[in-house]
Each structure stands twice: as structure tokens, then as C-alpha cells.
Amino acid sequence: MKMSQLYAPTLREVPAEAELRSHQFMLRAGLMRKSTAGVYAYLPLGYRVMQKVMNIVREEMNKAGGQEVLLPILQPAELWQESGRWADYGDEMFRVKDRNKRDFCLGPTHEEIITALVRSDVRSYKQLPIRLYQIQNKYRDEIRPRFGVIRGREFIMKDLYSFDRDEAGCDLSYQAMYDAYKEIFRRCGLDARPVEADSGAIGGDTTHEFMVLSDSGEALVVHCPACGYAANVEKAPCAEPAAQDVLDTQTAGLEKVHTPDAGTIDEICTFLDIEPQQCLKTVIYLADGKPVAVLVRGDHTLNELKLQKELDCSELLIADARTVEEVTGAAVGFAGPIGLSIPIIADQAAAAAADAVVGANQTDYHTRHVSVQRDLSLWKTADLRQCREGDACPACGQALDTARGTEVGQVFKLGTKYSEPLKATFLDENGKERSLVMGCYGIGVSRTVAAVIEQHSDADGISWPISVSPYHVVIVPVSFKDDQQRQTAEELYQTLQNLGVEAVLDDRLERPGVKFKDADLIGFPYRITIGPKSLAENKVELIERGTKTVELVDIAAVGSVLQERIHS
Ligand SMILES: [Zn+2]
């Protein structure tokens, strides 16, 4: 490819809308352009990277027993009504109507479509297991599309669905995908960690996310430097409170104190000169419309996902001020657990509190010296809080660290969550009808490209790993007007192509500085600079983008040197 013809409009300025490094460089290096919020057009360089990632994904899926299909983007509402998700999916789903006013959606995911496909053709256990995948656009109407392709409304995903006869078979499919994912991300040059995750709207019990750690990732991850355990904070279980976390045991009786206008943890701590961990927050929720009081220590953050799981409700809302006043008899900020007639659920650390301050259920009053065990009757105690840095690792007990990360893939065991409502069954060897046991496995292809940039870039631009780089090398004659430089460059360009090295020849009549800046921004792994000084010795400069090391190499040898590095 000649640079003069390459459609790669680079930008010198950082686009104002781009917060993340990957987003900035995808725009600046001319890999993509925004069409509308959360929707992007991929330009030639960006699409070449995308195709390289897709090919790696495809090779590893095929090795792991996957067969590629292409499923419809336009999906009828009826299938989603069968699974119950037409109502559950909410505003994230793009819904459309045809000319006869029939409902459709643009596929946010494909469990329904593929389950319906398989149920119509699979009859016998002899046809199992089946592992089908596709690489295709997905649609999600994000409230706030941001971070470029990381949270877009249209994005490219690989999704594979496995159908097995039983749990044991599903375990094998899951393991095959888990191993394939590790290999895919390794080949893309990513340091991706499998972490325990929450299954969210997709459902199922066992699930892992593959996270790429980087300073600007969108998710928070806790990880253990001692044993390697890692989990999304949304999912990470908290260890039971250790002895030092249990608040002072003491026997003073309950005491009501006047605390005018001190309705927040900060205000009450200042007023009474105590620490947040000596307070208990009482938060009133409506679980499927029924009020419940939730008790968490003042220095802890409630994890609503854990709470919802524990309450086993489909709708969980924080109660409005009127409900709080009705239930507690006091203004918001002064709710407390003593004397409530609604069920109280406490986080395990809150349940261990023996000398705490709580709201008194009377505006402008708190109660102190509360021992939860002595003074309250709890409906339930559970792990309800968000894990945080310094907490004990659930695997080994050492202190956890936190980091930012970007999720690039996720694997789920679905069980019969979709096959049962959609009646996807098979006959076992005894002629008995059974539901298919399913798994689903996604990789965000466009996200993976962004994650590669997050881990492989510096102040000057991208530094692609060879495996996914749009081209392997750029040849830059210092002056393309110079006959000798031009001739050497054109010969070298031909030689490299014959050797299977993907080369770009910068044939523009630009200043060398401009050409070098573009080369660094676009991120070619190697640059060959042809200048008068080295040419006098029949040599060229070979520069490695990642390390910026410069070598003088004989012109005759540079092709084989590059060929060897690219294929090793
Ligand atoms: Zn650990």
C-alpha cells in the first residue's frame, strides 16, 4: 500500500469527545470515525485490525469444536416473548415494527434465535454436543454511549452457544471455551485475566469475565497479589468479619441523643466525634413493592446486586421519602432498625456491631450504644456489601488490591434457562425427553481492539503487536524526491511484499518529521528509514516501534530479518 493512496486521515489534535486513550487513538490514527452517538464507521486501517482479531477468534473457535454460522440481526418479538425477555430487557433493546405493525428487535444477543434454530432440528442425544458461533453486529441502546467502541450502541461480537446433553457435557464445553479464550487474548497480545463475574441479565450461575487491566478501564476489579484471585467488585464475595472488624463489645444501655440536622454519616460523625464504622446505615428499599430495611456499616457500600439476589425479587427500588416517613415515622436520614415493623436484613459486618450509632426513627435524633445481637431481631444476615481494597481475599485471606479493567469476553453456563421455556429438547438413549443444557460465550471484537490499544500505546500513538497490526512495516524515505532514496524504497517495498511482509511505502512529499509522527501514531511495529547517510553504506535504519531501538541493517538483508521477526 502506498501512503499517498491510503485512506487514513490522521489528526494532530486530541478530539474533545474522547476520554479514553483507545478512543483518542482510534480517531487520531484514522482507524474509525463517529457516525452518531455510539455508532462508528471503520476505516481501512481499523478494519484490517478488526479482521486480524476476527481471524484469530475464528481459528481458535474452530479448534475448540465451533462451527461458524450467521444468524439474523432482525429478530421477531415472539421468540423473546417465549423466553420472557421481551418484557425484561427494557430500554436497552432497539425495537422496531414492520409495515404490518408486528414487533421485532435488533439483536442485542442471540440465545432465543439459536435455541429456536436448534430445537427445530435436533432430536437425539447422538447429535450432541453442538457448538455454533457467529461474528456479527450487536445492538444495545445504551443510556450513555461513551469510551468509543467500548460502550457503543452498535458493536461487533463473537458469540458461541453450546448445547449438551447434561451438566457434565456443558462443563466440557465451558472448559474448551475458557481455554480458547485465554489463547485468543494471548495471541492478540493482551494480558487478560479471567475473573469471577456477575451474570447480570443473561442469567445462569457459573460465569467468568476476561478483563484487561489498564488505568482507564471502565470496570473496577479486585485482585489478590498473593494468590492471583480476581473478581469484578460487583460479584466479589466479602469474607466474614474478622475479630478486629467487630466493633467494641460493651454493655452500656441504649441512649437517645439529640442530633439536629445530622442526617448523613459525615454529619453524625462530626457531631458525635465518631468514625463512620461506628455507625450503621438503615436504608429502606421496596422489593417488588414491599418495604424492607437494610443495615450496612457506615464505612461500607451496599451492593444492590447482592441484595437483590438475597431478596430474590425482580424489582428493587430505594424507597421514596414518603414511604420512609410512613415506615419509620421520621425524615430521611434518621431511619433506624429499632422498633421497625418491617423485615430487617443486615450485612454480616453490620450484624457484628456491638456499640453502634443508628437513626432513632425520630427526626433529629439518633440512638447510641446499639448492640445488634442484643437489641435487634434480624430477619436475615448476609453478605451485602461491596468488596474494597484491603479486604481479605476470599481465597487466601491476604489483602486485596483494586485495579481498573475492560471486559473483553465472558463465558456463561446457562443450564436450561432458555431451553426449558423455548422447549428445546432431545431424546436420551432411553427415549426420555430432556432439555438441552446450554452455555454461551461472547467476545467483544471491537472492544478487544480498544483493549489492545489501551495496553499497547504511549504518548506518541499506538504500538501494535505484530499479530493484529494493520501492516507490519512502513518504509520512509527521508526525501522521496531523491532518486536514489526513491529507487531503494520502491525496490525494498517490492521485495518485502514478495516475502509476505505487509508493507506501506510512505511516498508522500512531506517533511520527514510529519512522516515519522504519522508512523508512530498509526503504530506500525517496524519502520525502515532510508536516508543519505546510511544509504552511502548500503544500509537502512530499522526502528522497532515498541522499544524505539534503532539498528543499521544491510539493504540486502532487511527483508529476511523482518520476515523472521514477524513469523517468530
Ligand atoms: Zn488470595
Alpha carbon distances (Å) from 221 to 212, 235, 400, 401: 10, 9, 10, 8
Instruction: Name residue, grid cell 527521508.
Output: 478
If you measure from the C-alpha of residue 236 to the centroid of ligand 1, how many angstroms do you get, rounded to a whole number? 12
Closest by CA to 276, choosing from 172, 377, 353, 199, is 353
Q: pTM score, two decimals?
A: 0.82
User: Is residue 511 one of the residues assigned to a domain?
Assistant: yes
If you measure from the C-alpha of residue 401 to the centroid of ligand 1, how many angstroms do you get, rounded to a whole number? 10
If you measure from the C-alpha of residue 239 to the centroid of ligand 1, how many angstroms do you get, rounded to a whole number? 11
Could you tell me if 553 and 544 are in contact, meaning their C-beta atoms sit under 8 angstroms apart?
Answer: no
If you measure from the C-alpha of residue 306 to the centroid of ligand 1, how many angstroms do you get, rounded to a whole number? 21
Q: Are residues 149 and 183 part of one domain? A: yes
If you measure from the C-alpha of residue 226 to the centroid of ligand 1, how many angstroms do you get, rounded to a whole number? 5
Domain boundary among 402, 427, 453: 453
Could you tell me if 561 and 507 are in contact, meaning their C-beta atoms sit under 8 angstroms apart?
Answer: no
Q: How far is CA 185 from the centre of its chain?
A: 14
Q: Are residues 476 and 441 part of one domain? A: no
pLDDT in tens, 428-485: 999 999 999 999 999 999 999 999 999 999 999 999 999 999 999 999 999 999 999 9
Q: Are residues 180 and 39 part of one domain? A: yes
User: Is residue 92 one of the residues assigned to a domain?
Assistant: yes
- Rounded CA separation 74/80 (Å): 12
On the 0-12 / 13-18 / 19+ scale of CB atoms within 10 A, 309 is middle
Looking at residue 249, which CATH number applies to its domain?
Answer: 3.90.960.10
User: Is residue 323 one of the residues assigned to a domain?
Assistant: yes
Q: Are residues 483 and 345 part of one domain? A: no
Coil, strand, or helix at residue 539? Answer: strand
If you measure from the C-alpha of residue 221 to the centroid of ligand 1, how many angstroms do you get, rounded to a whole number? 14
- Rounded CA separation 529/506 (Å): 10
If you measure from the C-alpha of residue 392 to the centroid of ligand 1, how many angstroms do you get, rounded to a whole number? 8
Share of the chain above pLDDT 90, in %: 78
Answer whether the bond into residue 129 is a cis peptide, omega within 30°.
yes
Q: Enter the DSSP assignment of 387.
A: P
If you measure from the C-alpha of residue 262 to the centroid of ligand 1, how many angstroms do you get, rounded to a whole number? 39
Based on the structure, what is the number of domains in the chain? Answer: 3
pLDDT band per the 50, 70, 90 thresholds, residue 38 = very high
- Rounded CA separation 467/45 (Å): 14
Q: Are residues 252 and 371 part of one domain? A: yes
Closest by CA to 276, choosing from 388, 392, 393, 377, is 388
Domain boundary among 364, 382, 400: 382
User: Is residue 203 one of the residues assigned to a domain?
Assistant: no
pLDDT computed for residue 202 by the predictor: 45
If you measure from the C-alpha of residue 398 to the centroid of ligand 1, how many angstroms do you get, rounded to a whole number? 5
If you measure from the C-alpha of residue 363 to the centroid of ligand 1, how many angstroms do you get, rounded to a whole number? 44
Looking at residue 504, which CATH number applies to its domain?
Answer: 3.40.50.800
- Rounded CA separation 65/341 (Å): 57
Helix H or strand E encompassing 438: strand 437-444
User: Is residue 406 one of the residues assigned to a domain?
Assistant: no
Task: Show the domain range for 83.
Answer: 21-190+416-453
Looking at residue 68, which CATH number applies to its domain?
Answer: 3.30.930.10
pLDDT in tens, 233-292: 887 888 887 655 555 566 678 899 999 988 899 999 999 999 999 999 999 999 999 999
If you measure from the C-alpha of residue 245 to the centroid of ligand 1, how many angstroms do you get, rounded to a whole number? 19
If you measure from the C-alpha of residue 223 to the centroid of ligand 1, how many angstroms do you get, rounded to a whole number? 8
Instruction: Name residue, grid cell 460465550.
Output: 441
CA dihedral 67, 72, 104, 36 (to 10 degrees): 110
Question: In this structure, what C-alpha cell is assigned to residue 387?
Answer: 468488596
Q: Is the pLDDT of residue 199 over 70?
A: no
User: Is residue 223 one of the residues assigned to a domain?
Assistant: no
Per the prediction, the chain carries an average pLDDT of 92
- Locate the DSSP E strands across 451-538: 457-458, 461-462, 473-477, 503-505, 526-530
Could you tell me if 124 and 426 are in contact, meaning their C-beta atoms sit under 8 angstroms apart?
Answer: yes
List CB-based neighbours of ion ligand 1 within 5 Å. Answer: 224, 226-227, 229, 393, 395-396, 398
If you measure from the C-alpha of residue 187 to the centroid of ligand 1, how many angstroms do you get, rounded to a whole number? 27
If you measure from the C-alpha of residue 233 to the centroid of ligand 1, how many angstroms do you get, rounded to a whole number? 15
Backbone φ/ψ region at 474: left (φ over 0), alpha (ψ -120 to 50), beta: beta
pLDDT computed for residue 247 by the predictor: 52
If you measure from the C-alpha of residue 447 to the centroid of ligand 1, how many angstroms do you get, rounded to a whole number? 29
If you measure from the C-alpha of residue 14 to the centroid of ligand 1, how many angstroms do you get, rounded to a whole number? 40
pLDDT band per the 50, 70, 90 thresholds, residue 201 = very low
Coil, strand, or helix at residue 371? Answer: coil
If you measure from the C-alpha of residue 280 to the centroid of ligand 1, how many angstroms do you get, rounded to a whole number? 29
Q: Which residues contact 331 (CB under 8 A, 6 or more apart)?
A: 263, 321, 324, 325, 363
Q: Are residues 168 and 61 part of one domain? A: yes
If you measure from the C-alpha of residue 227 to the centroid of ligand 1, how many angstroms do you get, rounded to a whole number? 4
Q: Are residues 118 and 260 part of one domain? A: no
Q: Are residues 123 and 269 part of one domain? A: no
User: Is residue 226 one of the residues assigned to a domain?
Assistant: no
If you measure from the C-alpha of residue 230 to the centroid of ligand 1, how many angstroms do you get, rounded to a whole number? 8
pLDDT computed for residue 395 by the predictor: 80
Coil, strand, or helix at residue 251? Answer: coil
If you measure from the C-alpha of residue 232 to the centroid of ligand 1, how many angstroms do you get, rounded to a whole number? 14
Q: Which residues contact 409 (CB under 8 A, 6 or more apart)?
A: 181, 184, 185, 192, 209, 210, 441, 442, 443, 444, 448
If you measure from the C-alpha of residue 450 to the centroid of ligand 1, how many angstroms do you get, rounded to a whole number? 29
CA angle 186, 190, 194 (to 5 degrees): 80
Helix H or strand E encompassing 156: strand 154-164
Q: Are residues 436 and 360 part of one domain? A: no
pLDDT computed for residue 480 by the predictor: 93
Q: Is the pLDDT of residue 145 over 90?
A: no
If you measure from the C-alpha of residue 224 to the centroid of ligand 1, how many angstroms do you get, rounded to a whole number? 5
If you measure from the C-alpha of residue 63 to the centroid of ligand 1, how many angstroms do you get, rounded to a whole number? 33
- Rounded CA separation 505/475 (Å): 5
If you measure from the C-alpha of residue 351 to the centroid of ligand 1, how many angstroms do you get, rounded to a whole number? 25
If you measure from the C-alpha of residue 399 to the centroid of ligand 1, how many angstroms do you get, rounded to a whole number? 8
Strand 344-347 and strand 290-297: the pairing is parallel
Instruction: Name residue, grid cell 531523491.
Output: 482
Other CB atoms within a 10 A radius of the CB of residue 371 amount to 19
If you measure from the C-alpha of residue 384 to the centroid of ligand 1, how many angstroms do you get, rounded to a whole number? 20
If you measure from the C-alpha of residue 347 to the centroid of ligand 1, how many angstroms do you get, rounded to a whole number? 22
Q: Are residues 311 and 175 part of one domain? A: no
If you measure from the C-alpha of residue 303 to the centroid of ligand 1, how many angstroms do you get, rounded to a whole number? 21
Q: Enter the DSSP assignment of 511.
A: -
Helix, strand, coil abundance in the chain, percent, nearest 5: 30, 30, 40
If you measure from the C-alpha of residue 389 to the centroid of ligand 1, how many angstroms do you get, rounded to a whole number? 13
Question: In this structure, what C-alpha cell is assigned to residue 127?
Answer: 447429535
Q: Are residues 287 and 184 part of one domain? A: no
If you measure from the C-alpha of residue 480 to the centroid of ligand 1, how many angstroms do you get, rounded to a whole number? 58
Q: How far is CA 94 from the centre of its chain?
A: 21
pLDDT in tens, 362-413: 999 999 999 998 899 999 999 999 999 999 888 888 999 998 888 999 999 9
Domain boundary among 425, 453, 481: 453
User: Is residue 297 one of the residues assigned to a domain?
Assistant: yes
If you measure from the C-alpha of residue 196 to the centroid of ligand 1, how many angstroms do you get, rounded to a whole number? 13
pLDDT in tens, 416-439: 999 999 999 999 999 999 999 999
Distance between terminal CA atoms of the chain?
Answer: 24
Closest by CA to 338, choosing from 221, 346, 190, is 346
Range 97-103 average pLDDT: 97
Q: Enter the DSSP assignment of 501.
A: -
Label each residue of 168-228 as H, E or C: HHHHHHHHHHHHHHHHHHHHCCCCEEEEECCCCCCCCCCEEEEEEECCCCCEEEEECCCCC
If you measure from the C-alpha of residue 231 to the centroid of ligand 1, how many angstroms do you get, rounded to a whole number? 11
Question: In this structure, what C-alpha cell is assigned to residue 535?
Answer: 544509504
If you measure from the C-alpha of residue 287 to the centroid of ligand 1, how many angstroms do you get, rounded to a whole number? 34
If you measure from the C-alpha of residue 276 to the centroid of ligand 1, how many angstroms do you get, rounded to a whole number? 27
If you measure from the C-alpha of residue 211 to the centroid of ligand 1, how many angstroms do you get, rounded to a whole number? 18
If you measure from the C-alpha of residue 425 to the centroid of ligand 1, how many angstroms do you get, rounded to a whole number? 41
pLDDT band per the 50, 70, 90 thresholds, residue 166 = very high
If you measure from the C-alpha of residue 396 to the centroid of ligand 1, how many angstroms do you get, rounded to a whole number? 4
On the 0-12 / 13-18 / 19+ scale of CB atoms within 10 A, 64 is buried
Q: Are residues 361 and 423 part of one domain? A: no
Could you tell me if 543 and 476 are in contact, meaning their C-beta atoms sit under 8 angstroms apart?
Answer: no
Instruction: Name residue, grid cell 471486559.
Output: 407
If you measure from the C-alpha of residue 213 to the centroid of ligand 1, how many angstroms do you get, rounded to a whole number? 18
pLDDT computed for residue 17 by the predictor: 85
